[in-house]
Amino acid sequence: MEYSDYIVFVDESGDHSLTSIDPEFPAFSLAFCVIKKKDYCEKIIPAVQGLKFKYWGHDSIVLHEHEIRKTRWC
């Protein structure tokens, strides 16, 4: 079996319902990030692990978008 050279990350934000749209946030977005597996393994993973070791002393911490955005990670 042949596998792709790329990895895809997908995330959504907002309300995907078309029957009960939230007037406070009437938007929906869908984002994709396509990365070469080689770059992911050789550059991204080591960079993120380095950041975790630098600031927390270990790499088992989980980075959550809401906590990062609200700077509640310490």
Verdict on whether the full-model pTM lies above 0.75: no
Rounded CA gap, 65 and 51, in Å?
Answer: 15
Q: Position of tokens 């692990």? A: 49
Residue 7's nearest CA partner among 43, 42, 32 is: 32
Q: pLDDT per residue over 17-70, tens digit each?
A: 777 877 887 888 899 999 999 999 999 999 999 999 999 999 999 988 777 777
pLDDT at 72: 56
In Å, the largest CA–CA distance within the chain is 48
pLDDT band at 73 (very low <50, low <70, confident <90, very high): low
Under a CB-based contact definition with an 8 Å cutoff, are residues 26 and 16 in contact? no
pLDDT at 41: 97
pLDDT at 19: 78
